[in-house]
Chains A and B, each alone.
Chain A
């Protein structure tokens, strides 16, 4: 129904003052009114609080080994039960938020920054630069994320910084493609020609003139990628790469105990898994709501 919106635009007529501010406030208002956004934000905030104050909130010491009380099912004293060496699962889930909430956002920020820069450059220059870089990006996108990440981590090391670096490198091309598409539209706008006619440096045109106008897609892409990053970090630690024992990492906890599932010991696996799921879903809910607000 493009015609209906056209009619509205014409009918709304002369720009009412403060339109831009209205548009931004309208986006914000829309977000704050969206139940999806609120629920997602609350879930994420909960885990952020756990990440920061985990050791204070946690009822027990997450590292305290108690072999006599190993594999106790959930009770009043251990709400989520204990694991194979008697550590409190609830405390480990709470404290475990920290690792993933440091690694995943850092990786996503790094990937977004690199991807945005790549997208700006390829979209703006087109031609040879674009062709070469875009073919690399396409080739990269064809490879399965986890496999590359595994190979890279094996080759590098299993430190946190290696995980951050690897995830950033895997995400950057995806973000670059989205940003490039937005830049292709922006570069045809005449404010870019006007900047060239002041003989502005290319870096100024890219980062001062064009970048603010493509921040919408960048923000949407960031939140979507953050969800993927959390999932990837958990996957890597589950596979034994990335965060190492005895850290109370969620992926690691699942890895350490999934062998016991067949013995009926479900609690040391289920609760960390639920934690990962809730965080990913929370972030994705936020991402959906933000994308929808920007679409309008």
Chain B
């Protein structure tokens, strides 16, 4: 293989049509996908869910589900045509030439086999003896920067973190030195800091192994960072294709333009205007689309778009190939906005600190008792929220974000001594002891509307029940309120009798928001409300939340791991690490300098397009366990600005470094400012 693979293209899909059989009918999923990945090249495939990204990946391995078929077109891996090969040859090809990394590493690994034995399988299949295989496994684990390879080899997948497991999966994938590596959303389930590390690793290994990569992601910034070229997939067709920078900076297809406008990028904030959205929905599976696949959602569409499929226009500015399937590609950038760029005012809070906060917490802490020891999930949280203000809450998974939310809501009882005040009055710690006004005051929008809405009930029943319980409404009064509520969250009243499973993700989340607002809450906790949604839907939901806030003066506690989204919506930001507040201040202060070292690390894990130019700081090591937190400052084990013994022995207090800006660090503001300034200067000169 080796001599051939260096010259042949790693993957060539040519006019590939794939169908799925759904209830006896063949439905088109891929409508003529053509792409070429050269040797050593990294190709990104981007698009919203349901576009056919994963189908394209499985087709590349000729590994479609049983109800799938390749209708026409060709698939060539390393020059060999998969569709004409015998099954045995296809299996041999999968064994030696192609590897795949899936989204969920924990599901990709067998939970009953030691990591070492699992990775060794790759080598034994290729003919190595047991001892030799083990030696090579160790070397491979070292390559993916696992610090204790011998220890890890004797562990099971569940004993490792998600990030570690993904490294193991990558090690397995690269072990056979494949000519093509397919990565299907490899970092989607991981924390921002871990994601950054894994992406760095993939980039480094790609250099070393000179592997060609097909990188599938819904995340444009990840694609921008990882790929040479990109294909934008919509409804099973690549609508635009070209070098990454060219496609993103000079998009020539309305879908690409719209997609990029949906994301809060480069430090965008709500006071700079609403996010743009893409109207309408993806066409249903197998729909007849005689013209351009994007017509129905395109503001530039004219008659020709409906009837005639646009050819692949060459739109390259210079020598690079850049192609767009749009009749009006030269006008793509002029795509009218779907949403008027109205500014959303920031909370008045910043100018009015004397105002009575709607909620205030003091020394809130929660200890869980687990396997014989105490686990401090949340420690000593003190903050307040003004009416109509958004407090962004960020932190890695396991930092206690959701626990804190549940403590405020009264779903989990905090330890004795914790104090939560609503409008200046202390409230009971358990929801069952709170009166109706207090219950109405605090509500939540959950991450996953599928779990948050009872699947047996209609939307009407779900919202009506909330209106009835929280406001004691019924009859005509309830119906009127229900209609108003649906209207204010832009939920089509005609769909109100539908069950959740009959609705799209965005509509479900609107229904969940309507339920949260049923009792005119004072505070709504938004727990990752958009992370299960596509970017175009995310933009619409963020706009909606911002509008509702202005209209009703509701305060938000906005939890998210997406720092761009938090930045967009928040007036103030709180940074949580191992259950402790590390930094709290106005959004602009927290994102500016000086920053707490942990915030600095979090923000520098952001792709360039979102956070602006920043020196890269990588957090090394795992997040310590809550059961056994590090002594002194809990962050000292991973801190990029570690001072010395004082960090190990003494826990810094949560101090106000400037008015309204708190942090927990032994550094003074000036020290950190100097350190961070010099670091960014170094970066600039380098």
Seen from chain A, the residues whose Cβ lies within 8 Å of a Cβ on chain B are 2-8, 10-23, 26, 189-191, 193-194, 196-200, 209, 212-213
Contacts and interface: CB of A to CB of B under 8 A. Distances in A.
Contact of A199 (B22, B67, B102, B469): B469
Contacts of B376: none
B102 A3 contact: yes
B107 interface: yes
28 contacts: A4-B63, A6-B54, A6-B102, A7-B58, A7-B64, A8-B20, A10-B50, A11-B20, A12-B22, A12-B50, A15-B505, A16-B284, A20-B499, A22-B23, A23-B501, A190-B447, A191-B451, A191-B452, A191-B454, A193-B406, A193-B446, A194-B444, A197-B411, A197-B431, A198-B466, A199-B434, A200-B469, A213-B454
Contacts of B515: 194
B469 A198 contact: yes
B593 interface: no
Nearest to B20: A11
Contacts of B502: 15, 17-21
B25 to A, nearest CB: 12
B439 A197 contact: yes
A199 B107 CA distance: 37
Contacts of A189: 451-452
A197 B465 CA distance: 12
Interface in B26-74: 29, 49-55, 58, 63-68
Nearest to A209: B454
Contacts of A190: 446-448, 451-452
B503 interface: yes
Contacts of A18: 502
B118 interface: no
A10 B65 contact: no
A7 to B, nearest CB: 5
Given A11-B29, A12-B22, A194-B515, 16 more contacts: A6-B54, A7-B54, A10-B53, A12-B285, A13-B50, A13-B285, A14-B49, A18-B502, A22-B23, A189-B451, A190-B447, A193-B444, A193-B446, A194-B444, A197-B431, A209-B454
B470 interface: yes
Nearest to A18: B502
Contacts of A4: 63, 65-66
Contacts of A11: 20, 29, 50, 52, 54-55, 65, 68, 285
A13 B54 CA distance: 11
A4 B454 CA distance: 28
B50 A14 contact: yes
B436 A199 contact: yes
Instruction: Give the bracket for the number of chain B residues in contact with chain A.
Output: 35 or more
Given A13-B49, A16-B284, A199-B469, A8 B65 contact: yes
A12 B406 CA distance: 34
Contacts of A196: 411, 431
Contacts of A17: 498, 502
Interface string B71-110: 0000000000000000000000000000000100001000
B164 interface: no
Contacts of B368: none
Nearest to B444: A197
A8 B29 CA distance: 11
B439 to A, nearest CB: 5
A14 B455 contact: no
A13 B432 CA distance: 40
Contact of A13 (B51, B58, B465, B470): B51
B443 interface: yes
Nearest to A4: B65
A15 B282 CA distance: 10
A212 B431 contact: no
Interface string B489-526: 00000000011011111000000000100000000000
Contacts of A20: 455, 499, 501-502
Contacts of B53: 10
Nearest to A26: B23
A204 to B, nearest CB: 9
Contacts of B54: 6-7, 10-11
Contacts of B355: none
Nearest to B57: A7
Nearest to B51: A13
Contacts of B52: 11
Contacts of A22: 23
B378 to A, nearest CB: 17
Contact of B504 (A3, A5, A15, A194): A15
**Interface core residue of A14, A189, A196 (most chain B CB under 10 Å):** A14
Contacts of B409: 193, 197
A212 B65 CA distance: 32
B281 interface: yes
A213 B107 contact: no
A3 B53 CA distance: 14
Contacts of B503: 15
A267 B505 CA distance: 65
Contacts of B432: 199
B684 interface: no
